[in-house]
Structure formats: C-alpha cells, structure tokens
Amino acid sequence: MINASLNPIGNPSGALGQLALDPADSEALGLLGVYQSGSNALDQAARLFDHARIAAPADPRGHFAYGGVLQAMGFTEQAERVFAQATLANWSGIGRPPPDRDPRPAVALGWGPGQTSGWEVYAHNFLKRLDERGDYLALTADPAICLPPDRDDPYAPMFARSLAQLAPFLDQNSLYDFPLLVALGNDFGRFPHVGRSAREIGIMFIEHTEISVAGRDDAARYELIIAGSSWCADIVRGMGFNNVATVIQGIDPSLFNPQRRPNRQGPFRVFSGGKIEFRKGQDIALEAFRRFNLRRPDSELVICWHSAVPQAAASVTWGGLFDRAPDINADGKLDLTRWLVELGIPARAIVDLGVVPNAQLPRILSSVHAAIFPNRCEGGTNLPAMEAMAAGVPTILSANTGHLDLIEAGNCLALSTQSPIFLDQIPGTEGWGNTDIDEAVEALDQLYLDQAGAETLGQNGAKTLARLTWPNQIDLLLDNIFRPKSKAD
C-alpha cells in the first residue's frame, strides 16, 4: 500500500494497468485514490481508498488515507472510526507492544504538533512544557500515530509512546481513563482524533457566533471548554454553558523577545502575518499600506500570508476593496507578489516570505519596524500578533474580538473605529469589526514619524506579552483540567 500522501500524481495510467491485471491490487487502488483526491474528486477517492484498505486490511496506510479523505469531506465521526482501525493495524503490525508502566498521570492532545499552523505551535509548546515539568505523561491522539514511524520526525518517540498507550483501549473498545484535549472550532466542529475519553476537554477557538442545534448537542460531550479568548468564552457562556474557562495562547520567550531591534536604516518595513482570508483582514492591511506607501515611498510590506489552504484567499474579495483574489500557481502556492503589483503596490515594496516555520520568525521580526493586524475577528488572541509584540515590534491592532485581550494602554496602537459586519457567507458576525482604513494609515504614519515613541510602544508590548509565555499558559491550562472538583461543580 502506498504512503498516505494526498498529493496528485501525474499519470494514473500505470495504476489502471495494474488494476486490469488484479482488481484487488491495493497499491494501484491507492495510487488512483491519490490522483482523485489531488484532483479534488473526493467521492471517487473515498471509494478507492475504501477498496484499498479492504484489499490490504493489515496495512494502516490504506485506513489512514481513507480516513483522511473522509475528514476532507467533513465526515468527522466516520473518519475517527477509520483512524482507530488504522491505529490498531499499526499497533498489531509492530507486535502489539504493551504500554510502558509510567506512574505519571497522562494527558493526550487530539491534534498533532508542528511548526507551521497555530494549532501545531500550540501542540508543540504543550508537549514541550509537559516534558519540562516532568509530572505528566504527554500523549497525542492525532491520527499521525496510525502510520509507521518516520525516524527523522522529532516527534516520533512521542508518537510511538502514544500508540502503545492508546491502542489497548481501542482494542478493548473502551474509553481512555485520562483527559483528552479536543480541538474545537466553529459550531463545535472538532478535529478528528483517535479514540474517546471519559474526560474530554474542548480547546475552542470560535469565530462564527451562530451555533446550530447539532453543535449545541456536540458541546454536551465536554467536561470543560477552554476558550482561547475572553470574547470566545463570552459567546459560549451566552449559549448557557457554565463549564467554560479562558486560557489564551502563549509565546516562547526564548524565541520571541525584544533583545534585537532594528536601527532605522533602509526601508521602513511593515509586517503583516496570518493566513490570507477575509477574516484576517489582509485586504485592509494592503490597502492601508498602498496609501501609506504613496506618502512614504521608502516603505516595504513584509507578508507572511501563505497557508495549507490557499483556497481560503478567495474570500478576500468579500470586503469589497478588490474584485479579484490572488491566483494559485502550478505549484499550488498563491502568486501574491503579482497580485499586489496589480493592485498598485510597487514590486520593490513587496517582501513575500513564503511559508515560514515558527522558529524562524524571530529573525524576521527583528528586522521590521512595525506590524499591522486589522483583523475582522480573532477567536483566539492572534498568535502572529502576540509574537510580534513579544519581539518588541511596534504593533497596530484592530480593537475587536480576541485582540481585546492583548490591548492595554501604551502597549500598541489600537484601531478603535470598528464598523459592524453583516455577510451572507458567514453565519454569525456579532462582535466582528471592519477597521477604518484612514485610521490604519495614520497609525502607520505615526510609527514612521516617531521612531522613539514607536520603540517605547514596542517595549511596552513586549512587557505585556512577557506575562503570557507558553509555560505560564500551559500551567494555567493544566490547573483548570486537574483542579479538584468543588461541591459547586
């Protein structure tokens, strides 16, 4: 059976020939499934992957690929069942190793660690903190444990440990006896994970304020809901849930600190980060920069807008500032520079960073003079904005939703003029805000003209974020999960 990559292949004819000889050839079925999923023919891919896993039931990769396409189609429960089958196949394939007899209380994440998305950075720092503390056994119920180990993966030992700990519960069709942290988004939709727990804790970053009846029913499964911002917590409490606590994200102080700041030499560099989409407000940021650049030609826009879902960029047109979104090139990446030039920003003023691992961001932030985040909504507190502030970058923030947890007097420039948003494409936008572009331009100009004042602002922002480190925030999360229950509870 193939590796479970869901990238397209160039020519499926070879696989068709194999199937003509043997209709149960799992390798050929898998190759065709990869081709179909890469072409976004998900229904056909699902059928092929399903046949492939039936043809080779002991190979976890077929189950994993089928689960992945079910996940892409939005069939969360079905994907979870298939991922559980893949986990058992992997565990059996390596000899059903017994779990280590570790006396520490275990806690498992329902998603995986990494260095690119906010969820991955959250998981990475959660696992890092538990390793530092040493008093809890860190596990993951991410479907990645289904696959044979990659020795070059830094998380491979943790994946192997998690497989040995979780698979026996799956084998007995029983609930985990330790907390499982589940990633939640809009309408209480969850990331698919492996297995269920008697103690499920929802880690929630919500943006859409409209919740369906099915979403409310799903919410009942969670012992506790950890909201990523005060605004998010207020939304959930407003639905009548009392089992809600607020624990916002953190920053890694070893990476993000104000020790290295640029001298004002060369162009005035303005940083804008986050997945490009309507909600993140990059259309507002680039229009504000376009006007600012006309006033201050010695300025550059430094963008970190790429993501694993480039299709999300199509929503930037919803703001009405532009009538077209950036194209996706043959490599599946956004052609941002060409798009920005067509919108009137000089090519010399554009620095497209591409995809940047989290650990490489400090070097970039040390070279910029300002950061702007006119986001329309943040269910959390906007990790790129937190990291920019922690690095001492003078930062401009829209005063709405999750950003409100970061804004203090003198620690940033808050864009206070926020008009309400009503959009058919989004179910529920209470609390969202459209930033006034002229106010954003003036904020950039203030930082440009007053370098000393800007640096003071940046240092104050760094002091605020020094209280919000990942170790502090993960400790707070653990306190909420493991706090003794009172009679009132």
Domain borders along the chain are: 13-74, 106-250+472-482, 268-467
pLDDT computed for residue 245 by the predictor: 97
For 159-197, letters b (16+ CB in 10 Å) and e give bebbbbbbbebbeeeeebebbbbbbbebbbebbbbbbbb
What the block records as the tokens of 163 is 């497989």
Q: What tokens appear for 187 in the block?
A: 């309408």
- Give me the phi and psi of 21, to 5 degrees please: -80, -35
DSSP-H helix ranges across 296-410: 336-342, 361-365, 383-390
To the nearest 10°, the Cα dihedral for 108, 112, 113, 119? -100
* Res 23: pLDDT: 52
Q: Read off the amino acid at residue 191.
A: F
Domain 106-250+472-482 has CATH 1.10.1660: no
Give 203's strand partners: 183, 226
pLDDT of residue 107: 97
Containing H/E element for 204? Answer: strand 200-204
30 forms beta bridges with: none
What is the per-residue pLDDT for 166? Answer: 97
Sign of CA dihedral 472, 476, 481, 483: positive
* pLDDT tens digits along 249-291: 999 999 999 987 766 678 999 999 999 999 999 999 999 999 9
Is residue 460 within a helix (H) or strand (E), and if so which, with residue range? helix 451-465
What pLDDT, on the 0 to 100 scale, is given for residue 50?
Answer: 75
Q: Give the residue from 210, 246, 224, 205 showing the smallest Cα distance to 380.
A: 205
In CATH, what class is 268-467? alpha beta
Where helices occur in 318-360 by DSSP H, the ranges are 336-342
Bridge partners of 271, per DSSP, are 302, 371
Distance, in Å, from the CA atom of 352 to the CA atom of 169, rounded to the nearest integer, reads: 47
Q: Do domains 13-74 and 106-250+472-482 have the same CATH topology?
A: no
Q: Out of 1.10.287.1080, 1.10.3720.10, 1.25.40.10, 3.20.20.370, select the CATH number for domain 13-74.
A: 1.25.40.10
Average pLDDT, 10 consecutive residues per value, the chain (489 residues):
39 47 51 54 73 80 82 89 94 93 95 92 96 96 89 91 97 97 96 96 96 92 97 94 96 91 82 96 98 98 92 94 93 93 97 92 94 98 97 98 98 98 93 98 98 96 98 97 65
For tokens 């207020």, name the residue.
Answer: 234
Q: Which residue has the tokens 């519960």?
A: 169
**Cα–Cα distance list, 349 to 302, 303, 309, 335, 346 (Å):** 8, 11, 26, 16, 5
Query: What pLDDT score does 228 carry?
Result: 97
CA torsion 40-45-49-50 (nearest 10°) is 130
pLDDT score of 10: 43
How do residues 62-76 score in pLDDT, each as one tens digit? 888 888 878 887 889
Res 460: pLDDT = 98
Torsion sign, CA atoms 354, 357, 361, 363: negative
**At residue 227, what is the residue type?**
A
Determine if residue 78 is left, alpha or beta; phi over 0 gives left, psi from -120 to 50 gives alpha, anything else beta.
alpha
